[in-house]
Chain A
Amino acid sequence: MTVEPEQISHQIVVDRLWKVFGNNPSSALEAENAGKSRAEIQSEFDQVVALRDVSFHVEKGETFVVMGLSGSGKSTLVRCLSRLIETTSGHIYVDLEDVTSLDDKSLREFRRSKVSMVFQNFGLLPHRNVMDNACYGLEIKGLSRTERYERAQRMLDLVGLNGWETSKVSQLSGGMQQRVGLARALAVEPEILLLDEPFSGLDPLIRRQMRSELAVLQKEIQKTMVFITHDLDEAVTVGDRIAIMRDGEIIQMGTPEEIILNPVDDFVAEFTEDVSKDRVLNASSISVTPDLIWSYSHDLNSLKNKMDEVKAGHIAFVNESGASLGVLTGSDVEHIASMEELDRMLGESTDTMMYSSNVKPAISKLANSSTPIPVVDSDNNLLGVITQASILNALSE
């Protein structure tokens, strides 16, 4: 299902955003216009250009991941979105409202209702227990105690902290502390969730677990998210789109697949080198046209003749309307004597894959069997097949 351009609701629009740290940003901007490099500006004027001309938009319900090396300006960017850091120039629109020009009161209101943030080092209040931490945003909003507790309890249940309400946060493990951070952010029911490397402080096993839990959670809550990470694996798991930053600039932006398959330059390529491609490849991107597509209604002999004629290694069977019935190898078909036997063989081989699903399961299946896997759309129409060769080709690219 495609979305019409006018239906796209850009929840966040960032327009030519600049951020210069230092006491004289205009000198840095002038030097920037004169073509000086970031390092030159830093040494000559003692100004750090942390964001240079950053523009992007995030749609409602989308998870937008910002990636980049340390010091590339990711944290600065995400803090500018809720004005924890004042921008130097440029605009940020959230639901068409210019965040950069809000006065103090509207800014507080904006932070209380529209956005909440999850921090790398959790930022929990050590003098409060889990429940009162999760309540913080609601308390600031001025909700009554019972209402606060009720809403925070729901979020604590959601992140799996039921039973820990009265524990001190310092007694929890890192992973659990970040769950509290997540519950606190979700409790205010914000439209936008900003996450600055939320899982970087956790050890790898917990990190992976939290990451997939967040992906599941996101399906349920459907928040607009801006997710900062320096881990491409993480970016690919949670991100609908990824922006890659270097020295304060966005150098590439696109779906995980686009970025991994078509890096704009060596930097991005190097960045994405480590991620295994099977993470981003979907079934349709590696499917190929079957050697032979055969309408099931025809008789067996003409199938065998046609098969010999085109030297087909495999045959994809479809019904009159083009729906997939299964795929068999040429040698399977050679040995079939009757239509009943064909029915039985097709019945055994009916595993299909949706065009949008991840290729990982296909890899393990094809490792054990040479029978190609049919790829179908949501109406079960045959789009192509995945063969051993097509997987190897895609992975070796």
Chain B
Amino acid sequence: MSAPDREISAPDREIINSEKGASPRINQSLKKFYFPFVVILGAIVLSLMIHGSGFELALDFPVDVSNEMEGALDDSVDWIVITFGDFFDAISDSIKVVLGKLRDLLIWIPWPIMMSLVFIIGWKVASLKIAIMSVVGMTILALVNLWEPTMVTVAIMIVAVFLSIVIGVPVGVLAARSDSVDTGIRPVLDTMQTMPSFVYLVPGIMLFGLGNVAAIFATVLYALPPCIRLTNLGIRQVDPSVVEAGTSFGSSNMQLLFKIQIPMAIPTIMAGINQTVMMALAMSTIAAMVGAGGLGIEVLRAMGQLREGEAIIAGCAIVILAIIIDRISQGYIENRTQ
């Protein structure tokens, strides 16, 4: 505020203002009202003029660097594949082994045993209603002869979700404890979540070859962000007064983390894992394009042969599986938060 201004009191200024222009306040609101119209009208008129005159420079952007950038990215992916080939092969091999064993195990378990297990888990973790509903869902899956592909999908999902948690929870914890980590990973997470999921498939194939591992790689990339975000959020949301109380008893940082922050963030972390599971399931059809087995490949094959009935049934099987997993994990979260 300038010095002379200060000497005039507010009501005085108002009087001076209203004496100057004829009602400046109405003038103001008229300006506000007209502004968008002027801009839109101007834009239309100018566009028409440019098209009419055929002014090249304004119609096509004069510079194009897409070829150079694409080339550079191609080269760097190639470089990574060549340089770290052995490393990725090792990862790929171990994931293949684990996934294969898990898939065989799930298929090996006879259907009555599997249904009983799901029933017991659903009952203990969620509720009797959800347990019964899960068994009904699984019966439908068995009835349409999709039991084996379902087990394959479940195996892929378990591995993908396990990897997402192993990576996502610690990263989320780091982000919660350090603001710079948080701001650093935020744009990365945004990219991961908005990037069309097919885009992950190609680097997956290049790094791990066609098959389940590339599918798991793409699935983990796609399903990781909610796990990181919600772990971060859950820990940041922990009541600071409880953390303060913990500190006042001489807790070390690790004690605070494992005795207070993580236990109190569990419901939110679980919600993140639930989302991760759902996203992984959504990814399973797309992942079938790079050779992942399971329900996704059933959908793709049926569509390719224009057998829409089979495609719809396989699609519905994915939905049923999603509902079963979602309800059981939601029930678990609800029981925990009560």
Contact = CB atoms under 8 A, between A and B. Distances in A.
Interface in B235-251: 241-242, 244-251
A116 B248 contact: yes
A182 to B, nearest CB: 13
A112 B260 CA distance: 17
B241 A125 contact: no
Contact of A125 (B247, B250, B252, B264): B264
B125 to A, nearest CB: 17
Interface string A102-124: 00000111111101110101011
Contacts of A188: 249
A124 B242 contact: yes
B250 A117 contact: no
B248 A111 contact: yes
A115 B248 CA distance: 8
Contact of B250 (A111, A119, A123): A111
Interface residues of B, number: 17
Contacts of B242: 123-126
A119 B263 contact: no
B301 interface: no
B248 A136 contact: no
A126 B259 CA distance: 11
A140 B250 contact: yes
A113 B249 CA distance: 8
Interface in A104-157: 107-113, 115-117, 119, 121, 123-127, 136-137, 139-141
Nearest to B266: A127
A6 to B, nearest CB: 33
A208 B245 CA distance: 24
A185 B179 CA distance: 32
A387 interface: no
Nearest to A85: B244
B255 interface: yes
Contacts of B260: 125
Interface residues of A, number: 26
A110 B250 contact: yes
Interface of B is mostly: helix
A139 B259 contact: yes
Interface in B215-273: 241-242, 244-252, 255, 259-260, 263-264, 266
A136 B266 contact: no
Contact of A136 (B244, B249, B252, B264): B249
B222 to A, nearest CB: 31
B263 A123 contact: no
B26 to A, nearest CB: 36
A93 B264 CA distance: 35
Contacts of B255: 140
Contacts of B264: 125-127
A69 interface: no
Contacts of A125: 242, 246, 259-260, 263-264
Given A107-B250, A111-B250, 16 more contacts: A84-B247, A108-B250, A108-B252, A111-B249, A112-B250, A115-B248, A116-B248, A116-B249, A121-B241, A123-B241, A125-B242, A125-B264, A126-B264, A127-B266, A140-B251, A184-B249
15 contacts: A109-B250, A110-B250, A111-B247, A115-B248, A117-B245, A119-B244, A123-B244, A123-B246, A125-B263, A125-B264, A127-B266, A137-B250, A139-B259, A140-B255, A184-B249
Interface of A: 82, 84, 107-113, 115-117, 119, 121, 123-127, 136-137, 139-141, 184, 188
List 8 tightest A-B contacts by C-beta distance, closest first: A123-B245, A111-B250, A112-B250, A137-B249, A108-B250, A117-B248, A127-B263, A123-B241
